Amino acid sequence: MIDVSKRIGLRVMGSVPPRPLVTPMQFQLREHKSSGAYLPDFRFLKPSASVLRIDSYLGTFIPRGNGYLFKNFSRAWLHGKKVSVRWSMWAEFKESNNLRFEVLDGAYDRSSMTDFPDGATRPYKGSGLLALISWTTGPFDWTTVTSGVLDLSAGVLDDCCLFVWLNDYASYRKFYVDIDYVQVLSAGDIVLRSEDFLTDPVMEITGTYNDYGYISSD
């Protein structure tokens, strides 16, 4: 008799079931000149193989503005789920920065100067802010922030947008956030989607004050 438990590729009763496939997520990247008086210099970098850095680069001038990592979802699909981010921040002067993790009503496009108007703040769409998951300043070491079950029923648009928003409004020193992963989980904490930033950013537009690109694929 053949012992099927020793056959490669066969799974017998009582063995550990395979882990469910968790697909990555493509995220959009956007630098945003949100003030007519100040200039941003946000750079999207890979300090290690599985970490994305959003860096308000302190070079030849003192940068101010916004750097965004964001993804659009069907609002009906994301409703009732959780989202999670693992990140750390370095800031030599914490009073000059904001870091937000939030869900907004509507879809946003990295290439749109309407969604990210030059010299003006990013506009809200529909019902605006649907969930503010975290609003903090740095510096802080690696930590994981997980939302409660998202109630997005106040939205009026079909889509919504998950944002990591780095705001530098008066930084005279080095300032960046490192992101290890962003995940979508079920209400019961099963990971449904996970972006682990294993690929390099693809910058489609550079050399402006409103650079943009993307990272990973769906």
Structural domain total, the chain: 1
CATH of the domain at 197: 2.60.120
Q: What is the model's pLDDT at position 102? A: 98
pLDDT band of residue 153 (cuts 50, 70, 90) is: very high
Q: What is the pLDDT of residue 110?
A: 98
pLDDT of residue 137: 81
C-alpha span between 58 and 42 (Å, rounded)? 9
> Is residue 185 in some structural domain?
yes
Give me the mean pLDDT over the 134-158 stretch: 94
Q: What is the pLDDT of residue 94?
A: 61
Q: Domain containing 165: what range?
A: 21-215
Tokens of 41: 């210099």
In the predicted structure, residue 6 carries a pLDDT above the cut 70: no
The pLDDT-based confidence of 201 (bands split at 50, 70, 90) is very high
What is the pLDDT, as a whole number, of residue 11?
36
Radius of gyration (C-alpha) of the chain in whole angstroms: 20
CA–CA gap between residue 135 and residue 116 (Å, rounded): 21
Which among 156, 141, 99, 118 has a CA at the least distance from the CA of 31?
A: 118
In a domain, 5, yes or no: no
| CB-based contact 133:148 (threshold 8 Å) | no
Q: How many CB atoms lie within 10 A of CB 7?
A: 10
User: Domain for residue 199, yes or no?
Assistant: yes
- Report the mean per-residue pLDDT for the chain: 87
> Is residue 10 included in any domain, yes or no?
no
Looking at residues 105-128, what average pLDDT do you find? 97
Residue 36, pLDDT score:
82
Please answer whether residues 150 and 73 qualify as being in contact, where contact means their C-beta atoms are separated by less than 8 angstroms. Answer: no
Does 195 fall in a domain? yes
Q: 2 lies in a domain?
A: no
Is 3 part of a structural domain of the chain? Answer: no
Q: Is residue 76 part of a domain?
A: yes
Statement: residue 47 has pLDDT above 60: yes
pTM: 0.87
